[in-house]
Amino acid sequence: MKIDLLSPASFDGGQPHAQFDWLREHAPVYRHAEPDGPGFWAVTRYADVRSVGRDSATFSSEPTIMITDPTPESGFEFGDHKMMLMMDPPQHTEYRKLISREFTQAPAVAMTPWIDAFARDIVDAVIERGECDFVADIAGEMPSYVIARLMGLPLADGRKLYELTEIIHTAPEALPEGAQADAVRRMFEYGMGVIAEKRARPADDLASRLLHAEVDGKQLDDMDFLLFFLLLIDAGGDTTRNLVGAGMLALLEHPEQYALLKSDPERYLSAARDELLRWVSPVIYMRRTATRDTEIAGNPIAAGDKVVMYYGAANRDAEAFDRADGFDITRRPNRHLAFGGGTHICLGQHVARVEIDALLREVIARMPDLELAAEPEWLASNFISGPRTMPVRFRPGRRIATD
């Protein structure tokens, strides 16, 4: 079996399950070559992915969670400052504490009314046309509106920022030189405007609260704020979009499962949404770096080695899931790792669930006959999996919002 987990081509059309199946069976801790680097260990079994993710003392998130180390050209070097995603405890614990309360289940569930209203508006914007791009017009709108509202920004700005995120997550070789660094720079320029605005006129929003937050008795400085800002926009945007886009595609490809979901959405939605997360696993991987000589399932790992957890592979491991290759919207229990695990487990998972449910409910209710109008085109990325475009058609309907 030819193994190539670096080329975006391997992820064109979805995750490379034939490679993952082979790796789990024959080389679950596989030494993967890297043309411009030292190589990395690709970890594909559920139990190993889970235990690496939970052991941040041995498997560090520093210096980065991407396979490639940051370079000045990437725009991802920030001097002394780090993004929370790339910190280890105890520093990580201090930073995460600043916003973790706002993202627990109860506050996320309390967002349901306005997130549902966004879903209504998003479908309203296309329902009369009878056709749209499911990714840009439906799946992508929701996370950019939600993060804008949480941060206290105009909704249209959420959309612009989200376009920058997409550039940041695209494989550099698929972009003009310098495009990624430029996107980070533009994101920061916008973030500086937010700092000025929210310092002058603090409001009841996450951006204002972050600007007044303290770590070790010191207020966050501008760069700390910008990195939080970048992380929140980045982590919640195309992840959720890709889950909804690729998830809808999975439903269309399994019409009997989709029919079951449509037959009683309130009954099936919550298990179906978690099966979509397991099936799609929109975050392909997260990397760690070994802090000491160790082993994973008997394979020696040296201090400094890169260790990469493949969530999509873990989520199809027959040791962890009955009929792991079967798409089953009634699957319970479903302990998938799509949100990772351990200290960095997705902070936005409860919000993501509310967003996904709102969109699926609205689409099922108002576009029950939705179908593909052309083949989806996939994102050129080995990090985030999902369609870039997905033209669909449906019977036109009436707008329902009153304003």
Contact positions vs ligand HEM (CB under 6 A)? 53, 61, 65, 84-85, 96, 143, 147, 231-232, 235-236, 239-240, 243, 282-283, 286, 338-340, 344, 346-348, 351-352
CB of 64 to ligand HEM, least distance (A): 10
CB-nearest residue to ligand HEM? 348
The DSSP string of 45-112 is: SHHHHHHHHH-TTTEE--S-SSSSPP-GGGT---TT---GGG--TTHHHHHHHHHHGGGSHHHHHHTH
CB nearer ligand HEM, residue 127 or residue 241: 241
| Distance of closest approach, residue 398 Cβ to ligand HEM, in angstroms | 30
What count of other Cβ atoms lies within 10 Å of the Cβ of residue 33?
Answer: 11
**Cα–Cα distance measured from residue 79 to residue 339, given in angstroms and rounded to the nearest whole number:** 28
Secondary structure letter of residue 218 according to DSSP = E
Q: Rounded to the nearest whole angstrom, what is the least distance from the CB of residue 230 to ligand HEM in the complex? A: 10
Q: Which residue has the tokens 């700005």?
A: 157
Residue nearer to ligand HEM on the CB measure, 347 or 370: 347
* φ, ψ for residue 296, nearest 5 deg: -125, 120
Toward ligand HEM, which CB reaches closer, 17 or 26? 17
- Least Cβ distance, residue 197 to ligand HEM (angstroms): 21
Query: Could you tell me which residues are beta bridge partners of residue 41?
Result: 31, 307
CB-nearer residue toward ligand HEM: 350 or 394: 350
Closer to ligand HEM by CB, 50 or 366: give it.
50
244/261 with CB nearer ligand HEM:
244
Strands 59-60 vs 285-290: parallel, antiparallel or unpaired = antiparallel
Q: What number of other Cβ atoms are within 10 A of residue 323's Cβ?
A: 9
- Residue 128 CB, shortest distance to ligand HEM, in Å, is 29
Q: Cβ 176 to ligand HEM, closest distance in Å?
A: 28
Question: Residue 73: how many CB atoms within 10 A of its CB?
Answer: 12
* Parallel, antiparallel or unpaired: strands 391-393 and 131-133: antiparallel
Minimal distance in Å, beta carbon 131 to ligand HEM?
25
User: Which is closer to ligand HEM, CB of 140 or CB of 394?
Assistant: 140
CA distances to 111, 117, 240, 366, 398 from 402, rounded to whole Å, are 20, 11, 27, 16, 12
Closer residue to ligand HEM, CB minimum distance, 152 or 282: 282
Task: Measure Cα distances from 262 to 3, 265, 266, 277, 361 in Å.
Answer: 38, 5, 9, 18, 9
Smallest gap from residue 400 Cβ to ligand HEM (A): 25
Beta-strand pair 306-310/40-43? parallel
